[in-house]
Chain A
Amino acid sequence: MAKKFTRPIRATLAAFAALAAFGSLLPASPASAQGDLLVAPTRIILDGRRGAEVILSNIGSEEATYRIGLELRRMTSTGQLIDVETEAANELEQAALSMIRYAPRRITLPPGQPQAVRIAARPGADLPDGEYRVHMSFRAIPNPRPVTETPEEGEGISIKLVPIYGVTIPIIVRHGRLQATVAIHDPKVVAGQRGPELQIAMSRSGASSTYGELRVTRPGSDEPIFMARGIAIYSELAERTVQFDLTPEQAAALKGQLRFEYRDMPEAGGALIAAVETVLG
């Protein structure tokens, strides 16, 4: 996600004013409760020299307090992100945790109010080149509400459950010149538990993770007959399978001579990462 700025990213009052103005242009959502949140962007890549910001906005109807934390995840070869306890962290993960600086860690926001969380990486001088990753969590803390109700008389039991909900996004530090190559193997349509599934094996080598979209096209056409976006292959993985539920129409269309492409996301330039042409029966 190479971005060119003529000035370092910095929170300015003007930016917030513009945000607030644009907020009113966003379609009104019917959903609104205490703790609702917006997080942007949804992944951060740091090079260790320049910091970045994530904007957290309270899109609920009440004041809310959010806690921001760092967590560890590992991706399995099937693409699932597994929670890793700090005690079980390996060297790379410990290094990642210790080099990320961010502030603030707790934010109370009135409705409609955004605030920037500043993030920077401070890699040690002798840190080996490589990719380091943590996952930043944004979670609303429920307001302590006084229990005004007196326990009901009688035999009844009633339940009050308050969800604590939030979002986690990856924070990636690329230290040194990192590269990755990816190959796509053996795309196939199989019968899955819920219906037809597209399964693709991908292999990755190099020190960097990749993130992009999968496009399936017919020769001579640019119009994808299947597309999935936001597919990450993290640096801990040499092999990853991806699978997607297909509608019967999609499954029927995925036949004959097909081209499978894994590309950078459009906002990152859309460069081709890997491609394969194959015939599916």
Chain B
Amino acid sequence: MKKFLRFGAASAVVAASLGMSSVAQAQDSASADAFAEILTALQLELDTGSKLDFGAMVVSGAGVVSLDAATGTLDCTDVDIVCSGTTELAAFSITAGTASKDVKINLQSTNVILRRAGGTVGTAADELVLSNLNSDATLVTDLAGDYYEVTLSGTGTSAFEVGGDLTFDGSEVAGIYTGTFSVSVEYS
């Protein structure tokens, strides 16, 4: 497990904690106002260049395009939607966490509205919906609702990917659609 260090009354403590100087240690034990505390930390990162990317689509009617994070496959079988280009899942890394701990992954459960650059809010032709965010993390079945969870490794690391479904009503105008979705790591 990687630890995060915090220091007060810095120099004597740094020296003492690294065992570098007996003089510094003597000073440290003589001085009452020094401390070093090791903190458990948690790092969450989006892998460099990673993004949730459905590629490019040509839409002539209603349909759904799905990216399944568990398999990494794109489901683009609706006849009115043609998919092209490369697809990608959003990939996250957890590091420096508590070893062997289960942590819950919260994915946005409400629909994400994506809007066309230059489009008008509330106009069906300028909006589409991202829903059913899913992950390759362990899906835990629970009475209170299924949820995703990862178990941090012996060194406090884990990684997970996120996919989702895009729903088209068929009226969407060509262009670039943007939106944000939320992902959080819940520590207990």
A-to-B contact residues, CB < 8 Å: 3, 5-7, 9-10, 12, 14-15, 17-19, 21-22, 26-27, 29-33, 35-43, 55, 59-61, 73, 75-76, 78-83, 135, 137, 139, 142, 147, 149, 151-170, 193-194, 211, 213, 227-232, 234, 244-245, 265, 267
Cross-chain pairs A/B with CB under 8 angstroms, 10 sampled: A3-B37, A22-B5, A33-B46, A157-B59, A159-B178, A160-B177, A162-B181, A163-B90, A166-B183, A244-B102
B48 in contact with A37 (CB, 8 Å): no
Chain A residue contacts of B48, Cβ below 8 A: 30-33, 61
- Contact flag A164-B4 (CB < 8 Å), given A32-B45, A151-B175, A228-B100: no
Task: Say yes or no: is B99 at the interface (Cβ < 8 Å to chain A).
Answer: yes
Contact of A31 among B2, B46, B106, B142 (CB under 8 A): B46
- Contact flag A267-B57 (CB < 8 Å), given A30-B48, A155-B174: no
Task: Say yes or no: is B61 at the interface (Cβ < 8 Å to chain A).
Answer: no
Q: Which parts of B49-72 form the interface with A (CB within 8 Å)?
A: 49-59
B114 in contact with A167 (CB, 8 Å): no
A170 in contact with B47 (CB, 8 Å): no
B187 in contact with A142 (CB, 8 Å): no
Contact of B41 among A9, A14, A39, A159 (CB under 8 A): A39
A162 in contact with B179 (CB, 8 Å): yes
Q: What 0/1 pattern do residues 147 to 160 of B give for CB contact below 8 A with A?
A: 10001000000000
Closest chain B CB from A183 CB (angstroms): 20
B52 in contact with A31 (CB, 8 Å): no
B4 in contact with A55 (CB, 8 Å): yes
Task: Say yes or no: is B22 at the interface (Cβ < 8 Å to chain A).
Answer: no
A158 in contact with B177 (CB, 8 Å): yes
B-to-A contact residues, CB < 8 Å: 2, 4-11, 14, 32-35, 37-59, 85, 90, 92-93, 95-104, 106, 112, 114, 116-118, 128, 130, 138, 140-145, 147, 151, 162, 166, 168, 172, 174-188
B116 in contact with A151 (CB, 8 Å): yes
Closest chain B CB from A40 CB (angstroms): 4
The complex places the Cα of A132 from the Cα of B143 at a distance, in Å, of: 25
- Contact flag A7-B35 (CB < 8 Å), given A33-B45, A142-B180, A245-B138: yes
Closest chain A CB from B3 CB (angstroms): 9
Closest chain A CB from B86 CB (angstroms): 12
- Contact flag A157-B177 (CB < 8 Å), given A80-B144, A170-B187: yes
Beyond contacts A19-B6, A32-B48: 17 other A-B pairs, Cβ-Cβ < 8 A, are: A7-B33, A14-B10, A18-B10, A22-B5, A31-B48, A78-B143, A80-B140, A80-B147, A157-B174, A158-B54, A158-B56, A161-B180, A164-B181, A169-B42, A230-B103, A231-B101, A232-B188
Closest chain B CB from A277 CB (angstroms): 22
B56 in contact with A15 (CB, 8 Å): no
Chain A residue contacts of B188, Cβ below 8 A: 75, 79, 81, 170, 211, 230-232, 234
Closest chain B CB from A96 CB (angstroms): 16
B56 in contact with A161 (CB, 8 Å): no
Chain B residue contacts of A43, Cβ below 8 A: 40, 187
Contact of B2 among A12, A26, A59 (CB under 8 A): A26
Chain A residue contacts of B186, Cβ below 8 A: 73, 81, 135, 167-168
Closest chain A CB from B188 CB (angstroms): 4
